[in-house]
Structures are given as C-alpha cells and as structure tokens.
Structure 1
Amino acid sequence: MRKKGVLWAASRHALIGAVVALGAGLSAVHAVAAPKTDVSIGMAIEPAGLDPTAAAPVAIGQVTWQNIFEGLTTIDRNGEVQPQLAESWEISEDGKTYTFKLRPDVTFHNGVAFDSAVAKFAIDRARGSDSVNPQKRYFASIEAVETPDPSTLVLKLRQPAGSLLYWLGWPSSVMVEPQSADDNKTTPVGTGPFKFVNWAKGASVQLERNPDYWNEEGAAMLEAATFRFINDPQAQAAALQAGDVDAFPEFGAPELMSSFENHETLETVIGNTELKVVAGMNNARTPFSDKRVRQALMMAVDRSMIVDGAWSGFGTPIGSHYTPNDRGYQDMTGVYPYDPEKAKALLAEAGYPDGFSFTIKAPQMAYAQRTSQILQALFAQVGVTMEIETTEFPAKWVADVLKASDYDMTIVAHAEPMDIDIYARDPYYFNYKNPAFNNVLQRIEATSDPAEQEALYGEAQKILAEDVPALFLFVMPKLGVWNKKLNGLWENEPIPSNVLSEVHWEE
C-alpha cells in the first residue's frame, strides 16, 4: 500500500505538472496569437518638417494629416468631403457666407480647447500677409473671419469659392492653436487620434494613441505607430521581407512587386493615386517659350514606353494635368500622340531643323531618373540632345526649380488632387501664362453646380493639352505592400496620406 501510495502521489504530481505545463503552453500560444498594438509604416521620403501648414512637400501630410492634425472638414478614402471639427455648415444663397457649427469638447494634445477663436487664428494665420502656407491662394477669397460665439465660425468671402469645403479638408488647412503653432515643424500639436512622441532625424517619427481624443467612434485602434524612412527600393523590399516594417503603402520598386506574389505573410495592393508625372518646361526660357517646340517634344514622347520602362507597366498615360479619378476627366492623350516624324517637322518649322540641346533637372527618385533616361533616348530620335542633371529632392529641387525657376526642364510627380490650377499660379515654376485658361478656372470657382464645374474642367484640360506647358506623361498607381493581417490602410490615395485611425491587426 505504501509503495502504491508513493506511486499514486508521484503520478498525481506528474499529472499536475503536465497540466501546468500545458496551461503555460496554451498561455504562450495565446500570447503569440494576440494581435499587435503597434505598427511600423515605411516611407521613401522623410519630411523636412512636420507642419503641413508651413511647407508643400506631401511627405509632411503623409505623416501628420488625420493622424496628428485635423481640419474643419476632411477628405475620406473615397475622395469625398466630410465634416470633421466642424460638425455642420450653412452656405448663403449668394455663396459668399459660410457658417460653421464647431464640435464641442475638442481639445488639442496640449490641453488647449478648440473653439471659434482658435479656428479664426488658424485661418488668419494661413491667409495673412506673412503666411508661408503652401496653399495660401486658397484662402484669398476669405475677406473676414467672424466668431459670434465659441461654437460658431463665419467666413465672409469676397467672391464665391465653389471648392472651399474641399480645400478646407487639405493638410494645409488643418487647425493649429496659438501656443504651439510656431513649434509644429518639430513638435506638432493637433487634435487628432495620435500624439507626437519623437522624431529621430534621418530614421523615424513615433506617434502614440491619444487617450483624450474627442471622437470615441473614430479613436485609434493602435497604441503606437512609427514611420520609418527608407529611400532605397532594395532596402524597402528587404525591410518588408524581414518584418522590420509592417507596410510600405507606397512601395518604390514596381519591378520588385512580383517578388511578393504568394508570399506567406505579405500581400500586394494596387490602388489609384493623384500622382501625375509631368516633365515641366520653363515656358519663359528659349526654346520652350515657343509653343511649337513644346508640342513637338510632346509628339516625340511614347507614353506607353515611359510607363513600361519607368514603372514596369504600372501606370495610366495622360494627355493633360488630370487623372481618370477626377470629376470631369477627359482623355487628352490623342491631342499630340506619339509621332516622331511630325515632331521633327514641327521643330523645323519653329526654327530648329537640327534640334537643340538642354538640361533636365531630375530628382533622385527612381521614377524621375528612369523617365529621364527614356526621354533622353526619345528626344535623340528627333535630333534633340538632353543632358540629365540629378537634383536632390526636396531641398535642392525646391530651391532651384520651384522657387528660383532656374531650369530648362524638370520632372516630378504632382501629388495634390485636382491641382490643375497650378498652371494659373503666378509665380509658379512653369512660368506659363494664359488668360483664357485663368478665366476658365475663375468660372469654376464662381459656380457650385457640379455639372457646370465638370464641363469647365474639361475646357481647362483641353487648353493644357493643346498648349503643352509641360509634357504630360502618366499617373502613378499606389503600389502597396503590407502584412496580410494588417487591416484599415487606404487602398487608394485620393489625397496624399497615411491615415492610421482605422488601422488594426486581425485577432
């Protein structure tokens, strides 16, 4: 009996140990299976600052817009205007008075309350004489900002602005408050679902969940997020394969997309964007001041070759500064289709029977370098010699091209949605001046009738297609690569962004 008791006790202890071990194993499995609460997002370009109201590069908004900063309105994933810090609005019959009802109980990350006085500060700052807002012109129609009470904001306009609600949803229109506004370039403070934590220059920006976010339904589902900056496409692919980043919403190497097919943990997602790749010409500089030269160069370009060679067949050719996603889009690629013989004849008519030479300032990004090399070969076929000068983007390009207009030709992907109006800006780096085009844009803003606006956008597209102030090449798709268990990222990009409020991991 004693031996049996000893054996039974030993067996009992063994059984208990096995159960404990099994429980520990199950706990470990459960711990492994638990969804992550943070995310690492890869980006090719590091922003030069973190205040989208102070500088134009889209990378700023891709980190901060809808994550840290919010506006009176916002643009949703379908490109539609939605209420945000303004919960509703009324527009007067003459289209010149906008009355906004602001949301109550909204605070900035530093505890300052958002109200009409703060909104007035933000808008006056954007439209003031010393404003550095990259979209300052969009506020030019505002004559006065009134604050009848803390929850009511009234904008008085000089003339109707049919796109005002849309513009107010842009990164450049986000709400900032007086105490922190001057420091937003390095330590941004907004009202959004994430708070700024740290910026390790050259490496990453870290955000954390805002526990006091005003919108319970729209609160962040993640506890933390990190944006990692990896310029080299091969390094981007390696970081994804190694799991060092969870997602690259804009993967920079289309030729490597096939390497992720049937991947165990990663998936590829191809969406659309507003990224219009154009080779801008200095219309104020000879020979590009001659419309015939610009038209000839357009006919020297085989857009399908550009798409295949520069972006591995991913992309949609365009004939004007407009994308198929935009309302009122018309296909203008047939206005000056690829025809090298006609191009040579037109160059001869313009006084260049033996061609000419010039330099293109091309940013270091892969699409710009590859496209430039193909353009170089295509232009050579019509007797035109083009030298390629690699120009660091954004700093050097902004200084030389955007600000100084010191260039012959350049190439860049314009990311702002519905930005056909850039050809009416004075000054702007194209140095294109056409009163008829400007008149069409003025008529667009003078009406709020969508059908009339779309017809006028069609007129604007046609003018640009015929005048060729830039070589209109193609629209880049959004090539996304991310973890299969990561949900909530935007497939398409109606506005440059990495909105994280709905991002979460599968359980």
Structure 2
Amino acid sequence: MATTLKIAFDTDPVSLDPHEQLSESTLQFSHLVFDPLLRWDQNGQFEPRLATKWERIDNHTMRFFLRKNVTFRTGNPFSAKDVIYTIQRLKKSPDFRAMFDTIDTVSMVDNYTIDVHTTYTNPLLLNIMTYVFPLDKTFYQDQDQIIKYGETFASQHVSGTGPFILVNRELGSRMELDRNPHYWDKDSAGNVDKVILTPIRTDSTRLAALLSGDVDFIFPVSPIDIERTKKVPNIQLVTLPSTRILLLHMNQKRRKEFQDIRVRKAINLAINQSLIVDKILKGYATPAGQLSPDRFLGHINNLEPEYNITEALALMKEAGYEDGFRISMMAPNNRYMSDEKVAQAISAMLSKIHIVVDLKTLPKAQYFKEFDNRSADMMMLGWQSDTMDSNNLFEFIIACTDAKTGMGAYNASEYCRSNIDDDIRQANREMNPERRLRLLQQIERTLYKDAAIVPLYWQSLTWAAKDKVKIKDIVNDQNYPHIGDLFIEE
C-alpha cells in the first residue's frame, strides 16, 4: 500500500529553479527533488550525499569524490560534469553569487572526482558546498538563464537525483511528488511514496487541517497555538531553537533621518524585544541585541537588547526630531512566525517616540519583490546563515551593496562601511580560529555601536505532526526537513 504524506507549510517555493531565490522554501524543495553534495546532520556535522568523501589537496584546493551509479529523473547518468556545470551556474546566480565568489574554478580529475580551487584559503568551503545540488547538465544547458520571478525553462522544469520526482504543481496551491523509484539511497529509512504539499498561509487554518486529519505534518505552529496543540491526543510537537535572526532595516538612502546615529539608536531603544518575545511569540524566540546567535563565532556574550523610552526620546530631541516624523514600513504576513503581529507591535512602539509608521504587510511572494526594490523606509528581514557562521549574515545583510559580487544583496539599510567590508573579506580567508573570532566580534561590536540595524530575536522552529509520522528524526535547526528519510508507521 502506498504511503502518502500530506504536508501544509506556510509557503511554497516561488520557482522550481533552485538557483533563482536563496530562500528557505527553495532549499526545502531542493532537498526533495535534488541531492546536495553533502548536508548537515542533526548534530551539526557534515554527512556525505552525492560526494562520498573529500580531502584537502593544498591551501586552495579541495578534492571531492562523487557517488557512482546515480541517475537524474531523465535517466541521464550523474557525473563530475554535472557538478562543475552547477557550480558555474551558482556563480552567476544573483542570490547565490556572493557565497560562491570564493570558488575560482572547478576541474575534473576523472568522471567521479573534482577539484574545487578557491581564490584564497577559505575556512567555510564545506559549509558552502552544502548548497551544491547538482543539476542535470544535459537537461538544462542552453536554456538555463536565471531570471528572478521570471518565466524560464528552469523555473518550470526540473530534473534532479533526489528522493522525489515532481509530478504536478499549481503555483501557490499544491505540489505533488512521487518517490523516485531509481533513488540511489537504499539505506534510507524513508518509506514515503507520495508527498502532497499544500501551502496554507494562515496559522489557524493550517493547524485546523492537521487536527481534522486533512494533513499529516505542518510548519510552523503559531506560538499562541502551541500549548493547545500539546494537549491534543495523537499529535506531536517538535520545537528547536534556531539561528534565524529577525531584524529591521532602516534605509539611510531613502531617509536622511536614518543617517543620524542618534535616531537609529532611539529606534533601537524604543523597540522592546523581550516584550515581543513574551507576549506575541509566547517565549518561542530569544531576544537579540546582535546578529550572531550564541553558537556562532561572532557572538558577544554581553551584547543584550536595550529598551529605554526616556533615553530614546532624549536622543530624538537632541537630533532635532522632538516632534518625530512619518515613515513607511513593509513586512511580510506569511513568512516568519507571527510576522504581521510583530510588525504591528513595532509600529505601536515607535509611536511612543513620535515616529508615525505607515505599515504595509504583504504575502511572501510579493514582499520580496518589494524588498529587492527597497520600496519602504523600514523593512523586515529574517536570515538563516547559509554557512552556519556569522560572516554569512554580515556579507549579505551588512556589506556595502555590490551587484557584481553579490555582497550586500539583502542590505536594505543601504548602510556601508569599507572597514567592515575589509573585515568580512579577511574573515572569509582567515584559517586561524582565534584571529577569525576577533574579526567577527569586531564587526558585531561596530554594528552595535553604530545601531546599523535593529536586531529583534532568534526565532524558534516548531513543527507538528500525527504521532505515526516520525518527524523528530528528520527535522533540523535550518528547517530543511529530510523528508526522503521520513518513516511513517502503518
């Protein structure tokens, strides 16, 4: 009898092209239909996938040995040429380019061995290689242009080596996948034959679908529903702390007020992170005074969020804005946990220092187009470090925006300090952990002193499923559930 898994997540990928958007839903999809060279296991260690092992040849070269007898959905055999092709394409992707900038060339040793050559020593090369989900070169080449939110061959057709094959997709309403009968991983405990993924934006509707038995597995569970869900028989709840930071960008190009450090500090002091975490997120997050969570090298123990309305008002007065001003703010309403409610609370908090907020919230697909266009004075962003390292946060969110290198691709503050960029570049090549730690903490300290952004909190991840669906074994703190390995009890 076929085992079907019905999933309701809050969103589905905007495209089938794994290189179009660097987002959680894209990566979740990639783990379903493609396979990475290696991936993180639940203990934060690297696990071989399409690469069976790797070794360092010299300071600038890492050799990867590839799995044999693997085929793509088309039946084309997987080999070194597909990996080389994929990395070259990643280097051209607007969203992934900055991460892959460190890779100079990839050379073929033989059909199942490649050498990755970096432009400089890189302490995070293996972290980066978890993003290489080899594409079927024969299938994609010559029709592989990447256009964000565009209609392209790759955004509508897919050929991977993954545990599932896409059989049907209605954008925004349903995705159907069947087990790949030729999947290479015969040791996997996974017994799911069919996956039906339905995006359900509203928290209460998503939970209702689980409780009524319409779906088997949901993410996320709203903080206000967690206690109630815990009491429901035959339903399990799994929560993990994550390293995803939520923050606000203050656009210094759009608003001269934000160029004044006193105003930026006042905004930071007016926002009460602890209250947001307690009241809206019901404790399922950790208030943040910096970007780096405590398991990252850049984390500084005593950098806590500060809340002080009196001091904030004094700073506004000193900066000449005693009467305040009006700003526009945008946030998504289906991307992060209770994102719309959090944005509304922040608007109310800023009104106490006479900043009137015109808030507009949008579904994820529309929101990120506006974010890319820097359409509001203040914008919300959540970021899960791609490399599980502080420097990824810095190079995407803080670095001066540079379309050529992809640095600062998500810097909607338009904040730019060349000395920070120098430290980011240095940290990307520093192999000595002590020196690297000092560089990353130096960046974190500068951002804090500059009040460059408003760190809000690190969000916890909460999934719920029917008891027979063994999700505990396949969820992780990056939220790329390894559904290919999911076991469902009959």
Superposition TM-score, scaled by structure 2 size: 0.88
**Alignment gaps of 5+ in structure 2:** 145-152, 403-410
Q: Are the counterparts in 2 of residues 379 and 385 from structure 1 also a CA contact under 8 Å? A: yes
What's the RMSD between the two structures over aligned residues?
Answer: 2.2
CA distance in 2 between counterparts of 1:219 and 1:425 reads 45
1:424 aligned residue:
399
| Residues 115 and 350 of structure 1, relative CA distance in 2, 3 Å threshold | same
1:298 aligned residue:
268
1:237 counterpart (202, 207, 211): 207
Q: Are the counterparts in 2 of residues 489 and 500 from structure 1 also a CA contact under 8 Å? A: no
CA distance in 2 between counterparts of 1:157 and 1:87 reads 21
CA distance in 1 between counterparts of 2:62 and 2:371 reads 37
Look at both structures and tell me which one has the larger radius of gyration over its CA atoms: 1
Moved more, 460-469 or 118-127: 460-469
2:188 aligned residue:
218
Q: Does 1:110 align with 2:74?
A: yes
AA paired with 2:401? D
Shift of 1:488: 3.8
The SS at the match of 1:272 is: strand
2:21 counterpart (47, 55, 58): 55
CA distance in 2 between counterparts of 1:480 and 1:293 reads 39
CA distance in 1 between counterparts of 2:177 and 2:269 reads 48
1:177 aligned residue:
136
CA distance in 2 between counterparts of 1:348 and 1:70 reads 56
CA distance in 2 between counterparts of 1:425 and 1:163 reads 21
The SS at the match of 1:179 is: helix
2:172 aligned residue:
202
2:51 aligned residue:
86
Shift of 1:123: 1.1
CA distance in 2 between counterparts of 1:80 and 1:287 reads 45
- Percent identity over the alignment is 23
1:134 aligned residue:
95
Q: Are the counterparts in 2 of residues 359 and 407 from structure 1 also a CA contact under 8 Å? A: yes
Shift of 1:369: 1.6
Q: Does 1:274 align with 2:243?
A: yes
| Residues 68 and 452 of structure 1, relative CA distance in 2, 3 Å threshold | farther
Q: Are the counterparts in 2 of residues 310 and 371 from structure 1 also a CA contact under 8 Å? A: yes
Q: Are the counterparts in 2 of residues 489 and 503 from structure 1 also a CA contact under 8 Å? A: no
CA distance in 2 between counterparts of 1:276 and 1:175 reads 29
| Residues 358 and 491 of structure 1, relative CA distance in 2, 3 Å threshold | farther
Q: Which structure 1 residue ranges, 4+ long, deviate > 4 Å from structure 2?
A: 489-492
Q: Deviations over 1:404-424 (max 9, x none)?
A: 223200113223444322211
1:369 counterpart (311, 322, 340): 340
1:468 counterpart (446, 451, 457): 451
Moved more, 37-46 or 364-373: 364-373
1:415 counterpart (366, 384, 387): 384
| Residues 272 and 180 of structure 1, relative CA distance in 2, 3 Å threshold | farther
The SS at the match of 1:144 is: strand
CA distance in 2 between counterparts of 1:247 and 1:333 reads 37
Q: Does 1:75 align with 2:40?
A: yes
Q: Are the counterparts in 2 of residues 79 and 495 from structure 1 also a CA contact under 8 Å? A: no
| Residues 195 and 450 of structure 1, relative CA distance in 2, 3 Å threshold | farther
The SS at the match of 1:120 is: helix
Q: Deviations over 1:53-81 (max 9, x none)?
A: 1222321222x232211222222223333
The SS at the match of 1:104 is: coil
1:101 counterpart (65, 80, 89): 65
1:320 counterpart (271, 277, 290): 290
1:164 aligned residue:
125
Q: Does 1:308 align with 2:291?
A: no
Q: Are the counterparts in 1 of residues 473 and 486 from structure 2 also a CA contact under 8 Å? A: no
Q: Are the counterparts in 2 of residues 296 and 346 from structure 1 also a CA contact under 8 Å? A: yes
Shift of 1:358: 0.8
Shift of 1:463: 2.1
